[in-house]
Amino acid sequence: MEIKMEENLLIVERVVLESLTRKTKNIAELVVDTGLSILLLKKILSKFLEIGAIVKNKSNVYELNDKKIAKLFKYYNSISSRKEEVKELLNIFVDSALMEKEKNHENQQFPQTHSQRTIFSDIKMKKLWMTPEENFYYQSLINKLELFLKEISDKQDNRAHQNRLAEQNVIFWGNSHYANLMNTFLQNI
């Protein structure tokens, strides 16, 4: 069967491909690396076997299909597919943070003071005006963050196979002017 390119990968599908990119694995190793249930993995692996994205050898080890994977990765690493991945991760991230916030709020016996309140437990957002000097300082902090993350990324190439993919941190950052966000929103409706 030919690889179909009409749909974006779900986060759980992308994690399985990322795991197999790092090293060939049997299903038990995939469970450990991805943190996904064996039942879900079987469904995902079945789909990937059907479209020819992966192959399973006689030892029940899964690996990427070298003959078809380049076409698959070209599509799934396209700008539109990466955009969908970021949107999916952000939605999941916000939902998770809100659920955690609601759970913590329900478990509180005493109301919080204004200074104790935040929008989300794991994600923060601020709407504010910045002077040119403040914006310059903010941009320098972002540049330092990016350098720090690049250093970590460069070092992790040597130890990537030792760590579980499921334990990898997902970090978001960025900013925009309200007008740009509203214009993009209006263009998309």
Domain shared by 150 and 109, yes or no: no
DSSP calls for 140-171: HHHHHHHHHHHHHHHHHHHHGGGS-GGG----
pLDDT band at residue 2 using 50, 70 and 90 as cut-offs = low
- Return the higher-pLDDT residue of 160 and 118: 160
In a domain, 53, yes or no: yes
Pairing status of strand 25-26 against strand 61-64 = antiparallel
Is 147 part of a structural domain of the chain?
yes
Structural contact between residues 160 and 22, judged by C-beta atoms closer than 8 angstroms: yes
Look at residue 139 in the predicted model and tell me its pLDDT: 95
Same domain for 133 and 189, yes or no, is yes
Residue 60: give the domain boundaries.
11-76
Query: What does the pLDDT look like over 79-115, one tens digit per residue?
Result: 888 888 888 888 888 888 777 767 766 666 545 444 3
Q: Each residue of 129-151: pLDDT tens digit? A: 999 999 999 999 999 999 999 99
- Pull the structure tokens for residue 144: 């330092």
Residue 64 lies in a domain: yes
**43, part of any domain:** yes
Domain tally, the chain? 3
Q: Which residues pair with 56 in a beta bridge?
A: 62
The structure tokens 């760590």 sit at 163
What residues contact residue 45 under an 8 Å CB cut-off, 6+ apart? 16, 27, 30, 54, 56, 62
Task: Tell me, yes or no, whether 66 and 93 share the same domain.
Answer: no
Q: Is position 1 within any domain?
A: no
Q: Is residue 34 within 8 Å of 19, Cβ to Cβ?
A: yes
- What's the pTM value of the predicted model, to 2 decimals? 0.73
Q: How many Å apart are CA 60 and CA 22, to the nearest integer?
A: 17
